[in-house]
Structures are given as C-alpha cells and as structure tokens.
A and B are shown apart, each in its own frame.
Chain A
Amino acid sequence: MDKIRNEQIRGTVKVEQFGDKAREARLRWFGRVLRRNRGYIGQRMLEMELPGRRRRGRPQRRFMDVVKVDMEMVGVKVEEAVDRARWRQMIHCDFQLLQVTVRDALNQAMDEELERDERVFLLGEEVAQYDGAYKVSRGLWKKYGDKRIIDTPISEMGFAGIAVGAAMAGLRPICEFMTFNFSMQAIDQVINSAAKTCYMSAGLQAVPIVFRGPNGASAGVAAQHSQCFAAWYGHCPGLKVVSPWNSEDARGLLKSAIRDDNPVVVLENELMYGVAFEVSEQGLSKDFTIPIGKAKVERPGNHVTLVSHSRMVGHCLDAAAVLAKEGIECEVINLRTIRPLDVETIEASVVKTNHLITVEGGWPQFGVGAEICARIMEGPAFNYLDAPVIRVTGVDIPMPYAKILEDNSTPQIKDIIFSVKKTLNM
C-alpha cells in the first residue's frame, strides 16, 4: 500500500490546512464586524449574554472564546482590526512549503530514475523485500519487482563486482552498501574495477555505476560501524564523490549521480534520514538535478567562512545562528561534492571574509579539511587569509560506545563556536 503523507498532497496542489482556512475566515468576519458602525447587530451578538439559567456541565464555548484563541495563535490584538488591509495580511494563512525527509527524497529520486531509464536497477542487502535496512528503498520492490530491485546475500565483494560488471555491459546499477563500513570488504571493486577502468582503457570502457549508503557516525553503533569514508574515496582519481546534507541535496545529487556516466559514490548519513526539510517546487520536479562539483552557500556572511559537508552543515548553521546574536556573521558553505572539490566557491568566500574553518565528522589526518587547507594555501586566496585555516574534525580515535564518550568524539556546535572566536581573536 502506497503511503503518501497529507502534507505532500496539500503541498503539491497548494492547498492550506482546513483548520487554518477556517480560522482565517473567522478572523476575517470578526474584523469586518468590528469595523462596522456602533450598534450593528453583529457587535451586539459578540457580547450578548444568553438569558436564563445556565445548564449543568461545562460552559458553552461561544464565538468570542474561539476567536480569542485564534487571535493568540496568529498574534493579533482586537485594536488592530481597524486597519483592514493590515488585518487581512496578518490573518492570512499560506500553504506550507512541502516538507520532505531525506529518506523520502532519496526514495523518490530512485523511484523517478528507475521509471525514467530501463537500464537503472538497485541491488544490495535487504533492499527489496525488507524495504531497505533503513527503509530508503521502501515500496520500490513492490513497484518494480525482482528484476529491478535485487536482494543480495551478504557478499559485498561479490555483489559490488557483479554491479560493476553489469555497468560495464551497459546497465546503470545502483549498488547499496548497508553502511559504507561494509564497503571496505568491496573497496577493491570500487577503486580498481570501477574508478580506474575508463582511464586504463583510454576511454573505451565506461562504468556508469552509483555506490550509495549511509556514511560516518550514527548513534551508539561503536567503532566498526562509525567510520567516515569521505577522505578515502575522495582520494581516488576516476571516482566522483558526493555528500548530500538536506533533502534537496539528496534528491538532486542522487539523480545526477545516476545520470552520470562515471562511478559516483554517494555518502548519505543515517542520522539525517528522518530529518524533514522544505523542498521548493523546482526541487520536486522529475528532472531536478544538482551539478556534481558545485558547492552551495547556505548562509551568506562577512566575518568567517565555515565549510562543511553532510550532517555537519546543520551544525555550522546552528553555530552561525548563535554567533549572529553576538554580531558575528558566518558564511556557511555546503560542499555537496567531495570530489571534484569546488575550491572556487571557497576561495571567493575567503577573499570576502579572510577567515576559514572547515568542519567534518571524519578523522583529521589526511581528511577533507586537510585537503581544503592545502588547496587554499596553493591558490590565490592564501594572501587574503588573516589567520591560519582551522580544521574542526572528529577526535583521532576509534569511535567509543558510551554516550558521553561518543558525544565528545565528534564536533559539537560549541566546538565550532569556540574555533570561530579563536580565529577571530575573541
């Protein structure tokens, strides 16, 4: 059974919630009544007390009781009804921009691409009948069947190789790793068989494959299940590596990855799967793609540049909100793609702010932040830096299990705020 949330239907056809619309109607009428001449019967009705004895039980709710609650909710006062235009503007309810979770965004992207191109298929552990270990492929097997959605045994090296072989023969597989930690079992196929083949064959043999799955730290899954592979895959020529943060990123980047004729690694994040974001109408279109290799400025600012990818982008925005109260305006850049790295966007920002901080969940040594530091140093933006680039990273240890230790093993918002203030000499 297909499950579509009410918000999605409402958002698509641009219809407001009924309760909201009814409230708007009540307040509109209330304002109209108040603006009429004194003695208007409507006004007398508003204050009327019913004659006779009140019945037993809870007092009846009268129109004014309901309207008082409405006004509180909307945030207007009785006095404001005098100005008709302003009153109408304040009580107007708008349809909400569609809220889509990252999980649903990935699901829809795969659904649309499967429909669009016969050659696209999905394989991995528990992707079909189980609906996906993290429910990302929910409903796809029911819709497309055994041929397009394939459950594999627990044989990563084997099925990754099978996927690469299928891609070589012209199909467009999506190979799911239950988490990227398990991709280590198959990494030879990703690097040696997929990434290097186009080069080794001098362009004769393409490998249009997508490797996707959750990457990085989750909650309480301990050392063997929490590693971030952005640096490992980002190191290799021949591979494209993307790391979406919000739902729009997830949709656009996954679609671009599937349509790309080269091997693309899509590093998702398990903790982001359930988070809902507003997606614009354009973002919901079937042909919405985000170009691979282009970063996005999520929040403009003048004082310091924060560069991040995946879940940490959210942390950067939260830190920026806190710092804004103290007058520090952070420019937050969402990398979106790890390889190829969009250095131009970062450089343009550094030229403006003169301070750079990279934020990532992975380990510091040879990481994404380290690469950004090197590139900035090698390029024109170096001369615009007023302070060394700061890397905010995960702690250089295997991930511990106990909650207090785990919380202190990845960057927290306070670490970002601390680093900003340090680099600005505050």
Chain B
Amino acid sequence: MLIACSAIYCLKNVRSADVISIVFNLLLCTHPFKKCELHRLDQGPPTQALLTREQGLKYYRTMQTMRRMELKADQLYKQKIIRGFCHLYDGQEACAVGIEAGINPSDHLITAYRAHGYTYTRGVSVKEILAELTGRRGGVAKGKGGSMHMYAKHFYGGNGIVGAQVPLGAGLALACQYKGNNEVCVTLYGDGAANQGQIFESFNMAALWKLPCIFICENNKYGMGTSVERASASTDYFKRGDFIPGLKVDGMDVLTVREATKFAADYCRSGKGPILMELETYRYHGHSMSDPGVSYRTREEIQEVRSKSDPISMLKDRMISNNMASLEEIKEIDVEIRKEIEEAAQFATSDPEPPLEELCNHIFYNEPPMEVRGTNPWSKLKSIS
C-alpha cells in the first residue's frame, strides 16, 4: 500500500478518477502460507508471495475455465458423445495453473493421462480440446488421439502408459542441457505411478547427469482405486528421489504452487541438477468416467475437500476479502466462461468427424507417400506424412 501511495504522489498531473483506478490496479496482496516440508534442502521457497490483481484474475479465470471444461466433458461423456477413456482434472486446477505461472512458455512440460488441464495451460483452446474429446477433425490431434493424446508446442502430452512419461521428461531435460538454452522440463506423475521402476531409473540418471528436470508428483491420495497406504511402502513421495532434493507443497493453493515451482525452476536452471516436488491435491471425480469414485472413499471426504480446500473458492475468497475484486466482477467472469465453454461444446458436437482419407496419414514424419494395407489384401490405402 505504501508503494502505491508514494507512486501516486509523484504523478502530480494525474486526474482523481485515474488515481483511484491506478491505486486499484496496483493493489498488491501479500499472502502467507505454511512452510513446505523439505528433503535435502537447506532453504525452501519463500513463505510469502505477492499477487497482483491482474495475476489473481488471470489465475481465477484459467482455473474456472478448466473446471467448467472438465464438467462439460463429464456431461458430454454421460451423453455418450465422448467415448473411451476420460480422466477428469477437477479439484487439481491449482497445480496446473500454479506450475504454468512458475515457468516460462519456452520451458517444457509432460504429464500422464489426466492431461486436459495442462493442455489448456500450455496454450490449446477449449474448443480444440473438447473437439478432440469428441473425436472431430477440429480437435488438437485431428480426432486421432483422444483424451490421453493431446499435444502442443513444448507440451508433450498426454501419455497413456502409467509412468512412461517420466523417462521421456528426463530426456527432454537432457535435450535442454544439450542445447544449453537455460530451459527446464517439468515432468509430472501421480502417486500411483510413483511405484513404477522406470521413475527410479530416471531419478538416477537425472541426478547423475544433473539434468534440469523438475519431477512433480501430483499426490491425489488414490491410484485408481488404491489409496496411497495400500500401494506404497513410503508415502513421503517428495523423499522418494532419495539423493534428489525434494519439497512437499500444498497443491490446492495456486500461489504456493507458483512459488514452489519458481524455486524449483531456479534450482534447475542454476545447474544443480534435478529436483522433486510433491503436490498434495485431490480429484473430485473418480479415476475416470467409468469409476464412480465412491467405492474406495467416502462422499463425506469429497464434500469436505470441496467445502474447505477448493482451489477456486479459496482464490476467490482471498481476492474478495483483500478488495482485489468485487463479487460482481467474479460473477461476470463466470458468465463469460460459461458462454465460452458452451460455444466450444457446440463446436465440438457439430464439427464433422475426420474424413476417411485421414485414416492412414501421419504414420511417419517427413516421409514420401506410401501405401498401407487395409483390412484385406485388395484394400490399399494411401498414407502421407
């Protein structure tokens, strides 16, 4: 507040109406949060963060868009317009938004199958995401990938095989080190995947070669239907990197995630090697749309998280109580988002399916056109890359 006032004092020629708006826009909020648990680290991320109104509104908008997009996907799945696998991200929005706020667009990110949120934060429009889910030609992968296989610039999916994305992420980090471009790679995996052997192999090599890789474990307490206690001998996922330093972060608070990610990114960029972050978070939906999500946890538990730790509500309450935004403004944003999602869903349901000529394309990259065998020896299909 002091900074704002002294700035205004200097601008002697400014009109009074402008002063109010400038003061309003410069409004900062300092936010204290609980200290992160550390492993092999002397110092953790700062325990305070500055949030500007612009940032707050941006995070709110992004999280709310992701929430409504996932709920729309739920609706479309129940109408059988989306089929196959559909793993929804609602409840975990703060992780995706916080991480994106802590890295640069030129950094790299890879995750597993619960990927719709990250696809959005990495720059793909809601329209393209929903159209991919409904399997239409306007989808980000032209309808050929589906829910688990969406890609964008510096976003490597969307991976269906549990844990397989972690060595891929370490490889992306190797490329960053190789090219010397000061970029880092954020590699995400879940509490279930944390028991995959290939993750430990990646840890070893990343530490050995000091790869700029931020390993992030999104611990939402359940690997499909198995709770963390039943799957892991040690549930301190941030310590599982052993020789890799780690920190445990409250994944429901977008600012905590942002500060921790910034800290981790700085650590990696300084050449010290990989770092491991555990984000404590929660998913409201079941593992996928074919899992009701209540056979292994109680409805009361889900309700409690929704009422006490919902990331979007927490950010909204914080902004309103610090006078950074008014309730009407937030409601307006909600209305805009609802409209955007409706339009995207409209597009996703009306866009035509990919043409049959697309069937055999993109088998290879940069190849001359070739012939592909169809279902019988007389069926010779064309493939171009």
- Scan B156-185; emit 1 where CB is below 8 A from any A CB, else 0: 000111110000000000000000000000
With A153-B192, A154-B163, A158-B197 as known contacts, state yes or no: A403 contacts B135, CB within 8 Å. Answer: yes
- B105 close to A (CB within 8 Å): no
Stretch from A241-249, A297-305, A392-400 forming part of the interface with B: A392-400
With A130-B295, A182-B161 as known contacts, state yes or no: A419 contacts B376, CB within 8 Å. Answer: yes
- Scan B82-99; emit 1 where CB is below 8 A from any A CB, else 0: 011100000000000000
Contact in complex: A400, B144 (CB < 8 Å):
yes
Say which residue of B149, B195, B356 sits within 8 Å of A405 (CB atoms): B356
Contact in complex: A401, B372 (CB < 8 Å):
no
Contact in complex: A153, B85 (CB < 8 Å):
no
Stretch from B223-231, B254-262, B264-272 forming part of the interface with A: B223-231
In the bound assembly, the distance between CA atoms of A221 and B87 in angstroms comes to 12
Contact in complex: B376, A418 (CB < 8 Å):
yes
In the bound assembly, the distance between CA atoms of A393 and B374 in angstroms comes to 8
- Scan A392-422; emit 1 where CB is below 8 A from any B CB, else 0: 1111111011111100111110010011001
In the bound assembly, the distance between CA atoms of A195 and B53 in angstroms comes to 64
Quote the shortest CB–CB distance from A324 to chain B (angstroms): 21
Residue of B nearest to A222 (CB): B146
- Scan B104-135; emit 1 where CB is below 8 A from any A CB, else 0: 00000000000000000000000000001001
Contact in complex: A405, B162 (CB < 8 Å):
no
Contact in complex: A154, B376 (CB < 8 Å):
no
**Which residues of chain A are within 8 angstroms of B139 by Cβ–Cβ distance?**
402
Contact in complex: A154, B196 (CB < 8 Å):
yes
With A133-B224, A153-B223, A405-B358 as known contacts, state yes or no: A395 contacts B375, CB within 8 Å. Answer: yes
With A153-B232, A219-B84, A403-B83 as known contacts, state yes or no: A130 contacts B296, CB within 8 Å. Answer: yes
Contact in complex: B376, A224 (CB < 8 Å):
no
- A126 close to B (CB within 8 Å): yes
Most buried by A among B132, B146, B162, B232: B146
* Chain B facing A: main interface SS: loop
- Scan A216-244; emit 1 where CB is below 8 A from any B CB, else 0: 00111111110000000000000000000
Quote the shortest CB–CB distance from B271 to chain A (angstroms): 33
In the bound assembly, the distance between CA atoms of A330 and B141 in angstroms comes to 41
**Which residues of chain B are within 8 angstroms of A398 by Cβ–Cβ distance?**
363
- Scan B189-203; emit 1 where CB is below 8 A from any A CB, else 0: 000110111100000
Contact in complex: A411, B375 (CB < 8 Å):
yes
In the bound assembly, the distance between CA atoms of A419 and B148 in angstroms comes to 35
- B378 close to A (CB within 8 Å): yes
- B19 close to A (CB within 8 Å): no
User: Which of chain A's residues 129-181 have a Cβ closer than 8 Å to chain B?
Assistant: 129-130, 133, 151, 153-155, 157-158, 181
In the bound assembly, the distance between CA atoms of A392 and B83 in angstroms comes to 26
In the bound assembly, the distance between CA atoms of A404 and B358 in angstroms comes to 11
- A390 close to B (CB within 8 Å): yes
CB < 8 Å A-B pair total: 154
- Scan A378-399; emit 1 where CB is below 8 A from any B CB, else 0: 0000000000001111111110
Quote the shortest CB–CB distance from A162 to chain B (angstroms): 12
- A364 close to B (CB within 8 Å): yes
Contact in complex: B224, A415 (CB < 8 Å):
no
User: Which of chain B's residues 57-86 have a Cβ closer than 8 Å to chain A?
Assistant: 83-85
Contact in complex: A401, B192 (CB < 8 Å):
no
In the bound assembly, the distance between CA atoms of A185 and B198 in angstroms comes to 9
- A125 close to B (CB within 8 Å): yes
User: Which of chain B's residues 329-385 have a Cβ closer than 8 Å to chain A?
Assistant: 353-354, 356, 358-360, 363, 372-379, 381, 383
Most buried by B among A151, A224, A403, A419: A224
- B145 close to A (CB within 8 Å): yes
Most buried by A among B197, B224, B226: B226
**Which residues of chain B are within 8 angstroms of A125 by Cβ–Cβ distance?**
224, 226
**Which residues of chain A are within 8 angstroms of B145 by Cβ–Cβ distance?**
222-223, 401
Contact in complex: B223, A220 (CB < 8 Å):
no
**Which residues of chain B are within 8 angstroms of A394 by Cβ–Cβ distance?**
375
Contact in complex: A154, B381 (CB < 8 Å):
no
**Which residues of chain A are within 8 angstroms of B148 by Cβ–Cβ distance?**
222, 224
- B273 close to A (CB within 8 Å): no
- B241 close to A (CB within 8 Å): no
- Scan B15-43; emit 1 where CB is below 8 A from any A CB, else 0: 00000000000000000000000000000
**Which residues of chain B are within 8 angstroms of A129 by Cβ–Cβ distance?**
225-226, 230, 296
In the bound assembly, the distance between CA atoms of A395 and B360 in angstroms comes to 9
Starting from the known contacts A185-B161, A223-B149, A365-B373, 12 additional A-B residue pairs (CB-CB under 8 Å) come to A126-B226, A130-B225, A154-B192, A185-B198, A220-B83, A222-B85, A225-B160, A391-B377, A401-B132, A401-B135, A401-B144, A402-B146
Residues on A facing B (Cβ under 8 Å):
125-126, 129-130, 133, 151, 153-155, 157-158, 181-182, 184-185, 218-225, 364-365, 390-398, 400-405, 408-412, 415, 418-419, 422
Q: Top 5 nearest A-B pairs by Cβ distance?
A: A220-B84, A401-B146, A402-B135, A402-B143, A220-B83
Q: List 13 A-B contacts (CB under 8 A).
A: A125-B224, A130-B295, A130-B296, A153-B223, A154-B162, A154-B231, A220-B135, A222-B84, A390-B376, A392-B376, A397-B360, A401-B144, A404-B356
